């Protein structure tokens, strides 16, 4: 039996969804994102966000996240995803074996550090890693319905 890991426990709160909203987004289908990718960077919050140039940091809400590496620590291409709606709203990502192993090593190396998941130079989420991810699946949950819908629209354009 596969384990499903909750990737962003510390960055998300669960919100109640109305039955009508749940029906609108309920979709058990797994979608394949071909020809696009997302990147994962280890990051730290800049104490001087106003002094950082946009080239040096990723904007994430009111935070400026400074990458700890010049290049992405992991680039995930041609992945599958599924909408998750119930008591919470989120997106479950399914990785191939190679990317899953790389994510395991990444979460070991950057344990207790924030990892920014970036798509089109925009941070989707940036949780602090509190456990080592060791499966081919991870789930991102959202603080708001608007955040969920925004990322879902980006993914559906793959």
Q: Is 120 exposed, middle or buried (0-12, 13-18, 19+ CB in 10 A)?
A: exposed
Radius of gyration, CA atoms only, the chain: 15
DSSP letter at 129?
P
Strand ranges for 46-110 from DSSP E: 58-60, 63-67, 74-85, 89-94
The b-or-e profile of 13-28 (16+ CB within 10 A means b, else e) is: eeeebeeeeeeeeeee
Q: Encoding tokens for residue 110?
A: 């950057």
H-helix or E-strand containing 104? helix 97-109
Q: State the pLDDT confidence band at 113, using cuts at 50, 70 and 90.
A: very high
d(CA 153, CA 158): 9
Which structural domains are found in the chain, ordered by start? 5-156 (3.30.1360.200)
**Mean pLDDT over residues 66-71, rounded?**
94
The mean per-residue pLDDT over the stretch 123-130 comes to 90
pLDDT at 21 over 50: no
Per-residue pLDDT at 4: 38
pLDDT score, position 13? 35
**Full-model pTM:** 0.74
């Amino acid at each position: 039996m596969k384990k499903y890991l909750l990737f962003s426990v510390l960055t998300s709160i669960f919100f109640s969804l109305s039955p009508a909203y749940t029906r609108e987004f309920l979709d058990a289908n797994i979608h394949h994102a071909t020809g696009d990718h997302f990147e994962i960077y280890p990051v730290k919050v800049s104490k001087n966000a106003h002094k950082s140039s946009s080239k040096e940091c990723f904007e994430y809400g009111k935070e400026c996240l400074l990458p700890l590496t010049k290049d992405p620590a992991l680039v995930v291409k041609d992945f599958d995803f599924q909408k998750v709606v119930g008591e919470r709203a989120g997106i479950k990502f399914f990785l191939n074996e190679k990317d899953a192993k790389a994510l395991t090593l990444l979460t070991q190396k950057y344990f207790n550090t924030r990892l920014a998941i970036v798509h089109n130079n925009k941070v989707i989420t940036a949780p602090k890693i509190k456990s080592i991810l060791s499966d081919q699946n991870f789930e991102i949950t959202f603080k708001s319905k608007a955040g969920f819908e925004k990322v879902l629209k980006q993914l559906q354009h793959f």
